[in-house]
Amino acid sequence: RKKMGLLLLLIICQCAINSIKTHSVSKPNIILLMADDLGIGDLGCYGNRTLRTPNIDRLAEEGVTLTQHIAASPLCTPSRAAFLTGRYPIRSGMAAFSRVGVFLFSASSGGLSSEEITFSKLLKQKGYATALIGKWHLGMNCESSNDFCHHPLSHGFDYFYGLPVTNFRDCKPGQGSVFLKGVQKDLVIPIQIAGIALVSLAIVQYIGLLKVPFHALAYFLLIITILLVVLIFFFYHFRHLNCFLMRDHQIIQQPLSYENLTQRLTKEAMQFIGRNTDTPFLLVLSYLHVHTALYASEKFKGKSKHGLYGDAVEEMDWSVGQILDVLEKHNLSDKTLVYFTSDQGAHIEEISSAGEVHGGYNGIYKGGKSTNWEGGIRVPGLLRWPGVVQAGASIDEPTSNMDIFPTIVKLADAQLPSDRIIDGHDLLPLLQGKATRSEHEFLFHYCNAYLNAVRWHPGNSESVWKVFFFTPNFSPEDSNGCYDSHVCFCHGGFITRHDPPLLFDLSRDPEEKVPLTPETESRFYEILRVLHQAVDNHTRSLHAAPNQLSWDNLLWKPWLQLCCSSLFQSCYCDYESGGSPLQAHLG
């Protein structure tokens, strides 16, 4: 009887231990920290020795460092869509067939479709408090200025505090206008053609070669004038119309003020954590750093060794430290999975009008933002969860920012959608050391909606093969980016096609310096055959989705414009200062 009692006690104890273990990896708090345009070489934990990032480095020391963590796209909008849905952006219509691959205006009608299932929706259904603080960049309205069909609150977030679009140079006075520079190139020829046509019609009318009704000329002139007035108005008020801060559905600061902006975002994040210490929560803190226009508060300005860019990185690191500290304050560290990444690689072509480098450092990797060279898509991937995830471990297996979706959905005890393909894979087995190989045998790299490259990590090999079907034409030719056009593009004269495709083995040549040939790689054609078959299988899995980045969905639509006062008051308000819009305008 004593033996039976002892055995029963041992069984009960084991069951209790198993229950505790199960509970420890069930329904944790989730904090997802996403930088904007941060280079993998900008962080100490990835080899940087001059920028100070002790708090981000702490995540690496106390958690797992992913050294081959891949963004699903080298541009903001599609990468963030893939992150939220766990799916390649081509599946959700968030990959452009035109030159422009991201949303540029707050009053565009495109955005992340309501048909898409985000991890925030699934976690909210499981009782999580959910918040997005910072940059959104996935659309706002569809048919009216208050339908908010693409708004974060329509995609599973309970709370939103941040920017609906992104941080442009145009948002900060004195920082120039990348946007206007690009538009000027595209508008010069149409305006010249319209002007020549108008003058020609007037001349032939005057000399009597052709009789053009006067009212036709007048209408033509009127249309041209109206279009020019609208364009001038839009560009003059670009900052007010596109750079503003929202809380939920309300604009609280228009235009955006950069004064202590990182501190405000951080305070909002800390307060959200403080409000939810007794309930599981999902916090997505999407930094504006280090997208241009660069900014830093007085405490950090001029303190780094890398100018304003370095100041911004170090200020973001401070913010990460504040988040980690508030977790410790509320005894939540052991109950919280923290993830840090960037939406894509550094924008190396960013150089200020004064010649100061405003783009980051992608380490040894080629290219940067807007390209599928490793510098554009290999991003930081840090995950910390004390007691559950390995501490100080480094994993060199191919992983994706799409993997966060199935990882946290499973941790929240939610079910993955069964009516669609989820391209991400659960990271937990890798993070806990229970698996040594990534489930990603293939990863497909799109340049907008065009399949650009494919990565293959065979199960029986350490090699990571990567083929390019086309590559961007760098300008100048001997440079590492597209400096003449500010970003690289994906079609036409901006690219060079390759037949056969360029082949690299990233395990031996991570810098993508020397393409392999049949002479240097005996399995050259066999590797290409496998990769072409993978492309065929992948292509067959795609289904048509409404193109959210069509020209129609990208263009500015005045009736969708959000404005906290009125256009006649230049859409000006500042509720952040505690006053009314008019008081703020007058004061």
CB 75 within 8 A of CB 401: no
Active site residue: 76, 243, 490, 571, which one? 76
pLDDT of residue 586: 35
Token pair, residue 138, equals 């996935």
Closest alpha carbon to 106 in 228, 287, 239, 226: 239
* Model confidence at 587: pLDDT above 50: no
Answer yes or no: CATH 1.10.287.550 is held by domain 178-236.
yes
Determine the distance from the C-alpha atom of residue 299 to the mean position of all C-alpha atoms in its chain, rounded to a whole number: 27
Q: Residue 520 CB: number of other CB atoms within 10 A?
A: 11
227: pLDDT confidence band, cut at 50, 70 and 90? confident
CB 173 within 8 A of CB 239: yes
Phi, psi values for residue 556, rounded to 5°: -70, 130
Q: Fill in the amino acid letter for 78.
A: P
pLDDT of residue 20: 37
- Can you tell me the distance from the alpha carbon of 214 to that of 172, in angstroms, rounded to the nearest whole number? 45
- Name the segment(s) of the chain with CATH classification 3.40.720.10: 29-167+243-438+545-560
Mean pLDDT of the chain: 91
Token pair, residue 191, equals 């305006």
- Can you tell me the distance from the alpha carbon of 221 to that of 28, in angstroms, rounded to the nearest whole number? 63
3-state secondary structure of 395: strand
Give the model confidence (pLDDT) of 113-162 as tens digits.
Answer: 999 999 999 999 999 999 999 999 999 999 999 999 999 999 999 999 99
pLDDT of residue 443: 98
**Does residue 215 carry a catalytic annotation?**
no
3-state secondary structure of 207: helix
CB 366 within 8 A of CB 481: no
- Name the segment(s) of the chain with CATH classification 1.10.287.550: 178-236
244: pLDDT confidence band, cut at 50, 70 and 90? very high
For residue 410, give the H/E element and its range: helix 404-411
Answer yes or no: CATH 1.10.287.3510 is held by domain 29-167+243-438+545-560.
no
Q: Among the listed ranges 148-157, 237-246, 493-502, which one has the minimum average pLDDT value? A: 237-246
* Model confidence at 185: pLDDT above 50: yes
Give the model confidence (pLDDT) of 469-487 as tens digits.
Answer: 999 999 999 999 999 999 9
**Does residue 347 carry a catalytic annotation?**
no
Give the model confidence (pLDDT) of 370-386 as tens digits.
Answer: 999 999 999 999 999 99
Token pair, residue 88, equals 């390649």
Token pair, residue 243, equals 């750079």
Active site residue: 13, 15, 45, 137, which one? 137
State mean pLDDT over 304-320. Answer: 97
Token pair, residue 488, equals 């690289």
Token pair, residue 490, equals 């994906």
Give the model confidence (pLDDT) of 389-434 as tens digits.
Answer: 999 999 999 999 999 999 999 999 999 999 999 999 999 999 999 9
Non-local (6+) Cβ contacts of 248 within 8 A are: 153, 159, 160, 161
- Can you tell me the distance from the alpha carbon of 143 to that of 254, in angstroms, rounded to the nearest whole number? 22
3-state secondary structure of 212: coil
Tokens 């065009």 belong to which residue? Answer: 450
Token pair, residue 135, equals 């940059």
Full-model pTM: 0.90
Give the model confidence (pLDDT) of 31-51 as tens digits.
Answer: 999 999 999 999 999 999 999
